[in-house]
Chains A and B, each alone.
Chain A
Amino acid sequence: MGKKNFPEVKIPDTFADIDKWSTNRRSFLRAAIVAGAASQLTWFTSCSAKLEEANEYLTAEQSTVLKSILMIIFPNDGNGPSADDLNTFGFVLWTLADGLKKQEEKDYIIEGLDWANEKAQEIYFEKYSSLEDEQKEALVKQFTELSWGKNWMSVMVTLTLESLLLDPIYGGNTDEKGWQWLEHVPGLPRPTEETRVEAFFENNKPFDL
């Protein structure tokens, strides 16, 4: 009797397929402050037509779109923390300030926010911030059906996952709410102010030519 052959199903490899981020060498201790500050502010709920405050990286309009889309990606639905609970918004600001992230990747995030606004105007003749919740959700769903929009949403989902799963030292995963919800035990040692990614690159800095 011959041995059985099993058909192949493609699965991603644990580390090989993680979206990789390139790095550059600008120092960005400021980034940490930005993420921290964002968690201190009180934010309006996503259904509010009022604008979020502008900040160093985003206009009020962009902040409002970002905040709302993050809540669509990770809503407050009674199942674990929401994007607001995790401070995903603050984490995204940290990312926008991150000197290790390529400027074009940061620009891409912001372009998507502007694009959401343009689409809202095109379809509903209103700014994103003035849309009803259902309209916002419908718009986001439409994004995921377009290749550009799908890529952008994929980046936003990855950022949300980072704010859920990475160490709270980077501004997301507030009070380890993400880890607690998923019963995740972090590996030790965890990063400290001396070993967090910015400090690591400062201390082990390859040179710029």
Chain B
Amino acid sequence: MKDVCVIGSGAGAGPIIYELSKAGFKVIVLEKGPWIKTEAFTKDEMTVTRRSAYKPNAIDEPQVTDKPSSSGFKATSSVDSKRDFQNGSCVGGSSNFMSAYFHRLKPKDFRLLSEYGPINGANVADWPISYDDMEPYYTKVEEVVGVSGKVVDHKHLEPRSTPDFPHPPLITNEIADWFIEAGKNIGYNVIPAARGIISEPRENRKACYHSNYCGSFGCSSDGKSSSRAALIPDAMDTGNLEIIPNSKAFKLETDGNGKIIKAHYYNESGVVKTIEAKTFVVACQAIESSRLLLMSKNEEFPNGLANNGGQVGKNMVFAGGGGGSGYFRYDELSPEKVEQAKNKNTFVNQCIKDFYEIEDESFDLCKESPNGKVKGGTIDFLIEHSAPMPKGIRNKFSDGSLIYGSELKETLKDYFTAQRRVRFEIFCDWHPNDDCFVTLDDEVVDKWGDPVARVRTGFHQRDIQIGNYLADRAIEVLQEMGAGSITKSINGNPPSNLIAGGCRFGNDPKTSVLDKNCKAHEVDNLYVTDGSFMPMGGSAPHTFTIYANSFRVAEHLKKAL
């Protein structure tokens, strides 16, 4: 019998796999997708985005989204809507395809309820651990998984046990300096943003080669710190790890005494198989992890595994916020700036943290707050992705009318050769609420005949207010830079790729699924280590924290096993 069976192999699974294999435990991994080797990754949009080769397709693995609308919630299957929350389905999961903007959370993120008080209509909660408990593991991610960047002091800088990142910042486009300069002019600190991408070679990985095709695409140098490139190779070298790709877990069977004895899965031919292990770690990406627990019903757990308290699938969170953009037309720039703007490098890696906490008496939410402060978020600055198809598609319509013929050609020529588009992304808390949760759908099934996840995506108006406040600060920077045609889009549509919650950790079994070590309160040998544990997602993309937490749980497991 194996010591540990891990389900999934992405960011939440990687540190468990790495640490436990290295500590001498026998680890087996069930991964739903194939094992794509580095050599098979290309920057081919046909493969990656047009035929979405790395994601499960909607016919095989649909999900149902239950979205708020003016006439109440409206449920649609992704078979019809083509919208879902499926990301990378392969060894390493979505961590292969992330852009890897890596921000640590800050001490206050762990104590939102205590710091800012309750919020009507939102299930705000403190974490059962503090930033100090997590800090050593953020450091571990920086060193083991590989993070590049530069620490600069600012008023919201979180405490660090090391002075700086182990890898220097990646080379950026000189447009980065335009952002810094503009920020300075209007009194905002535009500071370096870290990336989970290595800027120099190490072990068996080559440095980032600046393909300019990062997000959504697999990395051909292994410079991107995916679980597949950064953690799994060393774990394989121990001889203690076995990975079974193309195997989809669909049920965890218990012994009647609160202990899992077997994981049931379909192998690559669709045949049902089982794996026995002493401990089970689930990390299927938040929605699918809740789904697996809900599917694992039996007499002992009639509402799904670890769900006698009725909390599994509740309090899903996404990354709140949105984004916006502006354009620099070459005919309005100096020759020197045109040259900089034309440089193909898309990395800016600059952000603003000044508004991580907002203290502004003109902002309505601050007026309502007892101490005049509200939790804000992060502004990241970017240059438009190099992939040409999204640029083409953006230009298909003008004022809502489809364009074609010479007009289409002129528009495309202009878009591709006479301007550069810069972007910003806003990250703020997605306030957990009673209308944001995962259940099993009653009708829609996947290709194996199992009920699919039904995701209700209600959001709190506060997210929109804070998102807009932050977007407006980003717009001030863009205006100061001289960008034209500036737009923003802040709404309650959840991003499909930044998902957490559903199996909250906490001290009270009535309001949480997992304890502070991410072990299920109700099951002796079940851990969940993807983003599911997060009671609040913080005001940054989640993956740095998912990796860090998984290292933290691994440390606990090494002692507990």
The winner among A144, A166, A196 for most chain B CB atoms within 10 A is: A166
Residue contact A165 to B489, C-beta cutoff 8 Å: no
Complex-state Cα separation, A182 to B416, whole angstroms: 6
Residue contact A6 to B53, C-beta cutoff 8 Å: no
B233 touches A (CB below 8 Å): no
Known contacts A16-B496, A144-B402, A209-B270: A8-B42 contact under CB 8 Å: no
Residue contact A74 to B408, C-beta cutoff 8 Å: yes
- Cβ proximity bits B181-223 to A, threshold 8 Å, 1 near / 0 not: 0000000000000000000000000000101110111001000
CB<8 Å pairs between A and B, sample of 12: A1-B362, A3-B363, A11-B487, A16-B495, A20-B82, A22-B82, A157-B404, A166-B45, A190-B43, A190-B44, A204-B90, A206-B56
Choose, from A38-46, A49-57, A75-83, A116-124, the stretch at the interface.
Answer: A75-83
Minimal beta-carbon separation of B139 from chain A (angstroms) = 32
Q: Which of A6, A12, A22, A185 contacts B471 (CB 8 A)?
A: A6
Q: Which of B34, B392, B487, B496 contacts A164 (CB 8 A)?
A: B392
Residue contact B402 to A153, C-beta cutoff 8 Å: yes
A9 touches B (CB below 8 Å): yes
B360 touches A (CB below 8 Å): yes
B122 touches A (CB below 8 Å): no
Residue contact A182 to B362, C-beta cutoff 8 Å: no
Residue contact B396 to A157, C-beta cutoff 8 Å: yes
Dominant secondary structure at the A interface: loop
Minimal beta-carbon separation of A137 from chain B (angstroms) = 8
Query: For residue A196, which residues in chain B have a CB less than 8 angstroms away from its CB?
Result: 44, 46-47
Query: For residue A209, which residues in chain B have a CB less than 8 angstroms away from its CB?
Result: 270, 447-448
Minimal beta-carbon separation of B497 from chain A (angstroms) = 9
Known contacts A9-B487, A206-B60: A185-B344 contact under CB 8 Å: yes
Minimal beta-carbon separation of B407 from chain A (angstroms) = 10
Q: Which of B36, B417, B490 contacts A182 (CB 8 A)?
A: B417
- Cβ proximity bits A8-27 to B, threshold 8 Å, 1 near / 0 not: 11111111111111111000
Query: For residue A14, which residues in chain B have a CB less than 8 angstroms away from its CB?
Result: 384-385, 390, 423
Which residue of chain B has the shortest Cβ distance to A192 in the bound complex? Answer: B42
Q: Which of A3, A154, A162, A170 contacts B473 (CB 8 A)?
A: A3
A191 touches B (CB below 8 Å): yes
Query: For residue B496, which residues in chain A have a CB less than 8 angstroms away from its CB?
Result: 16
Known contacts A188-B43, A197-B46: A8-B408 contact under CB 8 Å: no
Residue contact B408 to A73, C-beta cutoff 8 Å: yes
What count of chain B residues pass the 8 Å CB interface test? 83
Complex-state Cα separation, A9 to B423, whole angstroms: 14
Residue contact A9 to B57, C-beta cutoff 8 Å: no
Complex-state Cα separation, A153 to B55, whole angstroms: 28
Known contacts A8-B490, A9-B488: A201-B472 contact under CB 8 Å: no
Residue contact A13 to B323, C-beta cutoff 8 Å: yes
Interface residues of A (CB under 8 A from B): 1-6, 8-24, 72-75, 77, 79-80, 100, 102, 140, 144, 150, 153-154, 157-158, 160-162, 164-167, 169-170, 179, 181-192, 195-197, 200-201, 203-207, 209
Residue contact A187 to B40, C-beta cutoff 8 Å: no
Query: For residue A3, which residues in chain B have a CB less than 8 angstroms away from its CB?
Result: 360, 362-363, 469, 472-473, 476
B59 touches A (CB below 8 Å): yes
Residue contact B410 to A4, C-beta cutoff 8 Å: no
Minimal beta-carbon separation of B401 from chain A (angstroms) = 7
Minimal beta-carbon separation of A105 from chain B (angstroms) = 11
Residue contact A157 to B47, C-beta cutoff 8 Å: no
B51 touches A (CB below 8 Å): yes
Query: For residue B389, which residues in chain A have a CB less than 8 angstroms away from its CB?
Result: 18, 161-162, 165-166
Minimal beta-carbon separation of B138 from chain A (angstroms) = 28
Complex-state Cα separation, A185 to B47, whole angstroms: 18
Instruction: Give me the 3 closest cross-chain CB pairs, A-B, nearest first.
Output: A187-B43, A2-B362, A187-B213
B225 touches A (CB below 8 Å): no
Minimal beta-carbon separation of B237 from chain A (angstroms) = 24
Q: Which of A19, A160, A182, A188 contacts B388 (CB 8 A)?
A: A182
17 more contacts with CB within 8 A, not counting A13-B489, A167-B45, A206-B56, are: A2-B363, A3-B472, A3-B473, A4-B472, A15-B216, A20-B58, A74-B409, A80-B409, A102-B59, A182-B388, A182-B417, A188-B209, A188-B211, A195-B47, A204-B36, A206-B34, A206-B60
B70 touches A (CB below 8 Å): no
Known contacts A184-B388, A195-B40: A162-B50 contact under CB 8 Å: yes
Which residue of chain A has the shortest Cβ distance to B271 in the bound complex? Answer: A207
B238 touches A (CB below 8 Å): no
Complex-state Cα separation, A154 to B401, whole angstroms: 10
Known contacts A6-B471, A11-B487, A209-B447: A24-B59 contact under CB 8 Å: yes
Residue contact B45 to A165, C-beta cutoff 8 Å: yes
Q: Which of B41, B43, B362, B471 contacts A186 (CB 8 A)?
A: B43
Complex-state Cα separation, A185 to B343, whole angstroms: 11
Residue contact B43 to A183, C-beta cutoff 8 Å: no
Known contacts A6-B471, A187-B386: A18-B393 contact under CB 8 Å: yes
Query: For residue A80, which residues in chain B have a CB less than 8 angstroms away from its CB?
Result: 409, 413
Query: For residue B390, which residues in chain A have a CB less than 8 angstroms away from its CB?
Result: 14-15, 18
Complex-state Cα separation, A73 to B42, whole angstroms: 30
Query: For residue A22, which residues in chain B have a CB less than 8 angstroms away from its CB?
Result: 57-59, 82
Query: For residue A102, which residues in chain B have a CB less than 8 angstroms away from its CB?
Result: 59
Q: Which of B39, B52, B324, B396 contacts A154 (CB 8 A)?
A: B396
Q: Which of B49, B246, B325, B362 contacts A11 (CB 8 A)?
A: B325
Known contacts A77-B406, A161-B389, A191-B44: A197-B53 contact under CB 8 Å: yes
Query: For residue A144, which residues in chain B have a CB less than 8 angstroms away from its CB?
Result: 401-402, 404
Known contacts A21-B50, A200-B40: A183-B416 contact under CB 8 Å: yes
Known contacts A18-B393, A21-B52, A197-B46: A207-B270 contact under CB 8 Å: yes
Which residue of chain B has the shortest Cβ distance to A161 in the bound complex? Answer: B392
Complex-state Cα separation, A93 to B468, whole angstroms: 46
Query: For residue B211, which residues in chain A have a CB less than 8 angstroms away from its CB?
Result: 187-188
Complex-state Cα separation, A189 to B211, whole angstroms: 8
Complex-state Cα separation, A128 to B409, whole angstroms: 25
Which residue of chain A has the shortest Cβ distance to B386 in the bound complex? Answer: A187
Q: Which of A18, A167, A201 contacts B53 (CB 8 A)?
A: A201
B475 touches A (CB below 8 Å): yes
Query: For residue A205, which residues in chain B have a CB less than 8 angstroms away from its CB?
Result: 34
Which residue of chain B has the shortest Cβ distance to A98 in the bound complex? Answer: B51
B268 touches A (CB below 8 Å): yes
Minimal beta-carbon separation of B513 from chain A (angstroms) = 29
